[in-house]
A and B are shown apart, each in its own frame.
Chain A
Amino acid sequence: DTAVSQTPKYLVTQMGNDKSIKCEQNLGHDTMYWYKQDSKKFLKIMFSYNNKELIINETVPNRFSPKSPDKAHLNLHINSLELGDSAVYFCASSWDREGEQYFGPGTRLTVT
């Protein structure tokens, strides 16, 4: 009964490739998020998505694009991968835009 799931858990790819990470939540939450955690464990919000409203962090390159086919899914597509994109990416969800968030297990992306 995983609440927030992500696939794949590990992703190794070469520079220049395009890849996607999938996220699903079965909690009935209205809001979903993508975070990036760097090698120093610093966790930074990339996107939040609430009832078809997308809030983009201005520092995120436009190579990153979230796609939400429905309320339970928020996928992350990355174009033209760069070495600096290597990190752990976490999906999360919450009932609304204020309050506790539930995190997925993370996807470790390694770009070679």
Chain B
Amino acid sequence: SQQGEEDPQALSIQEGENATMNCSYKTSINNLQWYRQNSGRGLVHLILIRSNEREKHSGRLRVTLDTSKKSSSLLITASRAADTASYFCATQTGANNLFFGTGTRLTVIP
């Protein structure tokens, strides 16, 4: 299966703290993407990192990719209550379908 796995499944932090979520996958990839899903809503694309990249930033988000370990991490700095959501990693091999991980449920306590 190409499905990724996020770790932890759930994470609860205080506002202002940093949140780190990890994703592991099984096959070679062309890119890895992170998405956010607020409760009852569709997924929103956050960031895409290609297999030849090791780190990428977007605002308060920092994504790393280690293809030798087949893993990625998403760091959200200075978290806010509005960051409360589920976060999914998704892997893609060439012009093929995205395979989503199992998600991390992040709760930021005000």
Interface 0/1 of A30-56, CB less than 8 Å to B: 000100000011111100100000010
Task: Give the A interface residue count (CB, 8 A).
Answer: 24
Chain B interface, >50% SS class: strand
Interchain CB contact under 8 A, A104 and B42: yes
Task: Tell me the chain B residues, 46-78 only, with Cβ under 8 Å from chain A.
Answer: 48
Contact A101 B100 (CB under 8 A): no
When the two chains form their complex, are residues A103 and B48 in contact, meaning their CB atoms are under 8 A apart?
Answer: no
Interface residues of A in 75-112 (CB under 8 A from B): 90, 92, 96-106
Q: Give residues in A with beta carbon < 8 Å to B.
A: 4, 33, 40-45, 48, 55, 57, 90, 92, 96-106
Residues on B close to A: CB < 8 A? 30-31, 33, 35, 37, 40-45, 48, 86, 88, 92, 94-100, 102-103
